[in-house]
A and B are shown apart, each in its own frame.
Chain A
C-alpha cells in the first residue's frame, strides 16, 4: 500500500485541484463560489492531494466531488456521513470532506447527520443550504420557510423548518459555523478553519438557487440592506453591526437584544466566545435568523476540542493489544474451549 503519512511539506496550488470534468451547475449557482473557495483552501491545508477525499450523497451540492481532482465518491442519497465515517475509520490519515445539501443532510440523511456530529469523527461537513430541492426541480425542503410556495406546496408550505446550525450544536458537533456563498472571503476563511479543525466540523453555507429559490437570502446579500441584517462574529469581539456599525447584540440575562452603541459603550458589551463553554449563548445565537426577525450571525458558533472517535478507537486497539498481546491467526484459531481427539 502507498505511504499515506504526511511527512514532507506539501506544495500545491489551486490549479492542482482543477478537475478535467467541467462543473455542470446552473449559470449563476452559488455552488460555483463554494467550489472556487474550496480550491483556494485545499492547497493551504498541508495535506497531500492523494490524502484528500470528497464524499457526497445526492443533490446539486453532491456533484461536488467530480469537480475537484482528488479522490471522490458520489454515493447515495443521505448516506454520505456514514460512508465518510467508514473511510475515516479505515484510514485516519485521510482528510475527509462531506459535501451535502439541506435535503440530503437534514431530510433523508437526518439520522446519519446527527450521529456523525455526536461521534466527533474528524470529518468536515459542508452543507449547501438553498432551502429547496433543486435537482428534483423545486419541492420544499426541511429548511424551506413556512409559507414557501413550491411545486409540492402550491398553497404554501405548512412545515416548520429546521435550523441546521442549531441541529449541529444540539447533536454535539465540536466545530459549527455559518457562512454565505456571496461572501467569498468569509467563505474561504470559514472553510479553512473548518478543514483545519480536529474533530467533526460543520459549515452551513447559505447558498442561492437561482432557478427555484432565487433571492432567498437577499436581505443578507443585498448591498443596500445587508449591513443591517448580518453580523460577522469574531472570537472575543462584541457583536457589532449596522450601516455605520452603530448597533450591537447584547446579552440581557435570558437572550440577545439589539442595543445602540451610543447607549452601550463597546467595553460593556458581551463578547463572542467560541470555545463551547456557553451553550445558552450558542443556541441563542443560532436562533437569530431572518425567521426570528433578528440580524443573522455568520462565523463560528462553536470551536471546542475533545478527543476524536478515530483517535479513541486507535488508542483502544493499542491498549487492548498491550494488555492481551497482538492477536495472531494461531492464537485466534486455538482460543476458546478446545479439546484434542487422538
Chain B
C-alpha cells in the first residue's frame, strides 16, 4: 500500500451520473445526508430525465445528482463540478462539458464496451483516445469489483450488479473522508425484511471504501472542515419536504386541520406524498380526479373551515385558473403552490424554470389579484409556506406560493426552528349573527368576516356572481366597481403586514440587482464575488412579488441601473419596468438549469462597464 496524503479543501462539487436505473439519486441522497451529519454546509441539485427508465445506456436516460459541500456557507450546488462519477459512457458524454478543467473523473471502465459506446454515440472509446487528457481520470472496473465483493452472496448476478452504486459511494466516502455509519444504518432500515440486500449493499459500500483506500490509483483523500454554522439542531431537507412541513406547522399554529386537494404532477407530487404520511397530525390529503378538482375541493374545505391548500406545477396552475378566480371573489383563505418547471405546455417536466410568474400574477379572467410569494431555497420553502398561510388567513384571500423544480428537489441543511418562535395564526370568524354580512370588512386589512357552515344564525350565500355587502347577487354598476376596487386594494395592503427584504450592499450606487425565488443562491454567490472585486453593485431579493415591498421604489431611485436575473425571458423585469418606470435590463436563461453565477457575474461587470 502506498502512502496516502490528506489535503484540506474549502469546498468541492461532486456530480454522480449514470443511467436513470443506476440509483444515482439514492447515491447522491446518501452522500448528502452523510455530508450534512459531518457538519459541512451543502446544496444539492438532482437532475434527472422525465422518463422513468429511458432506454438503458443512452444519453436521454442519464440521471445526475450534484452536490456542493463546503466549510463555508454554500448557496448553490456549484456551477462546474470538480468531480464527476460516471457510471457509463452516456453519463460521461452528457456531463463532461460542465466539468471544470483538470477536474476528476471516476469512471466505471466495465461499462465502456462497444455497445454502450455506440448507445452513447461515441465514435471511439474516450478512455483510449486523448479526449480526456485535460482531466484526472480514475479508471475503476466498478462492476467487476462489485461482483467480486459479492461472490458469496446468494443474489443473482443481475441483482448483484445493482449494488454497484454503493461501491461508487464507498469510494467517494473514502476520498472525502466521510464515515459510512449513516449509510449502513440507512441500508439496515431500508431493507429490514431483505437480509440478502442488507448484506450485498453493505459489502459493496465497504468494498468501494477499502478499494479506494488500498489501491494505488487514489493517492490523495480530502478533508472539508466543518462549516462554521450557527449552533443548533439541523435537518437535511428538500424544498418539497419543507413546503409540506411549513403547512402542517401553520395548521398547528392556527389550531386548524390541514386539507390538501391535489393531482399528481412532476415536480410537485412529493408534497402530496409527504403530506399523505401525516395522518396522525390530522392531515387530510385528497388525491383528486384532476387539477380542477384539486383546487375546487380545497376551496370547499376552506369554505367549511379547514386550512386548505392545493399543489401543482405550471400546466396544473393553468387548469386551476377559473377556480382560483372563484376563491378570489368568494374571498377564502387558500394557498396554491406552483412548483414551476420548464414550459410552455408539458415543456420540461423535470427541469427548472421561473416562467410562471406572469401566470401567477395575471392568469385569470377579470380583475383577480392574488398575493404572490416565492421561496428562495429548499429550507426557505418552510418559512414561505408558513408565511403564505398567515397572509391567506389574515386577508381571507388565496395566495400563490412559487417554488421550482430546482429548490423543490434540491436539499440543504435546515436549522430547525423552535416551536415558540413560530407565530400563532389567528383565525377570526364573525361573532355577531344578528348583523352578519358576508362581505363586511375589517377596516384595516379589508378582509371580509367569514362564517363557516355549522355556525348557527350565520347562514348565508356566497358564489362566483358579483355580490353586494349582504351577499346578495348584484348587477348594480357601482357595486361591481366598488367590489373590484376593494379586492385590489386588499391585496395591495398585504405589504403593510410583511417584512421588507434587506438590501445587500450600499443603499446607493451604480447598479441594483433585483431577483426573486430560487435564483437567490446563484445571485448570492455572484454578489459575493462582485463585492470582493470592489464593484458598485447592490442586491434586493424579493420575497413577495405581489404586492411589491413598500420601499422598492425609493431603493431603485438610488441606483443608475437595474439588472434583473431570471430563469425566464424577463417577467419580473416587465413588472418592475411597469411599476417603477425604470429602464431595467434582464439577465435571462431558460435552459432548464439554475442560473450560473459565473455568467451572472460577467453580466454585472458588463452592466457596470456599459
Contacts and interface: CB of A to CB of B under 8 A. Distances in A.
Interface in B250-270: 252-253, 257, 259, 261
Given A71-B460, A325-B280, A332-B249, A82 B292 contact: yes
Contacts of A48: 456
B300 A85 contact: yes
A262 interface: no
B53 interface: no
Contacts of B85: none
Interface string A64-97: 0110011111111001011111111111011000
Given A1-B429, A339-B36, A313 B284 contact: yes
Contacts of A81: 293
Interface stretch (B128-136, B191-199, B415-423, B487-495): B415-423
A340 interface: yes
A221 B182 CA distance: 76
A300 interface: no
Task: Determine the main DSSP class of B at the interface with A.
Answer: mixed
B473 A2 contact: no
B141 interface: no
A55 B286 CA distance: 19
B281 A327 contact: yes
B453 A50 contact: yes
A328 B325 CA distance: 34
B330 A321 contact: no
A86 B301 contact: yes
A320 B281 CA distance: 9
Nearest to B429: A1
Given A333-B249, A341-B39, A76 B326 contact: yes
A244 interface: no
A334 interface: yes
B454 A4 contact: yes
B416 A75 contact: no
Interface stretch (B225-233, B557-565, B582-590): B225-233
Contact of B252 (A76, A329, A339): A329
B343 to A, nearest CB: 24
B508 interface: no
Nearest to A54: B461
A336 B233 CA distance: 12
Given A89-B297, A337-B33, A74 B461 contact: yes
A326 interface: yes
B409 interface: no
Contacts of B39: 339, 341
Q: Which of B241, B284, B416, B461 is packed against the most chain A CB atoms within 10 Å?
A: B461
Contacts of A324: 280
Nearest to A320: B279
Given A55-B300, A86-B299, A329 B249 contact: yes
Interface in A235-269: none
B281 A82 contact: no
Contacts of A330: 419
Contact of B296 (A83, A93, A321, A325): A83
A79 B293 contact: yes
A317 interface: yes
Interface string B306-327: 1010000000000000110110
B358 interface: no
Interface stretch (B44-52, B200-208, B462-470, B568-576): B462-470
Contact of A332 (B233, B237, B248): B248
A112 B289 contact: yes
Interface in B442-467: 452-465
A79 B323 contact: yes
Contacts of B330: 73
Given A74-B465, A76-B464, A84 B231 contact: no
A111 to B, nearest CB: 6
B252 to A, nearest CB: 5
Q: Which of A55, A323, A336 is packed against the most chain B CB atoms within 10 Å?
A: A336
A311 interface: no
Nearest to B418: A333
Contacts of B233: 334, 338-341
Contact of B280 (A91, A317, A329, A338): A317
B348 interface: no
A278 interface: no
A66 B453 CA distance: 15
A39 interface: no
A89 B301 contact: yes
Nearest to B226: A341
B297 A82 contact: yes
Given A1-B454, A51-B454, A341-B234, A317 B37 contact: no
B290 interface: yes
Contacts of B288: 82, 115
Nearest to A108: B292
B416 A327 contact: no
A21 interface: yes
Contacts of A82: 261, 288-289, 292-293, 296-297, 300
B473 A66 contact: yes
Contacts of B457: 50
A82 B460 CA distance: 20
A13 interface: no
Interface of B: 33, 36-37, 39, 182, 226, 229-237, 241, 245, 248-249, 252-253, 257, 259, 261, 278-282, 284, 286, 288-290, 292-293, 296-306, 308, 322-323, 325-326, 330, 416-417, 419, 422, 429, 452-465, 472-473
18 contacts: A50-B453, A50-B458, A74-B464, A79-B293, A81-B293, A82-B288, A86-B297, A90-B284, A90-B300, A90-B304, A111-B289, A112-B289, A112-B293, A115-B289, A316-B279, A317-B284, A323-B280, A327-B280
Interface of A: 1-4, 21, 48-51, 53, 55, 58, 65-66, 69-76, 79, 81-91, 93-94, 111-112, 115, 313, 316-317, 320-321, 323-330, 332-334, 336-342
Given A112-B289, A325-B280, 19 more contacts: A48-B456, A50-B459, A72-B459, A74-B465, A76-B322, A83-B296, A85-B293, A86-B297, A86-B299, A86-B302, A89-B297, A90-B300, A90-B304, A111-B290, A115-B289, A317-B284, A337-B37, A338-B233, A341-B226
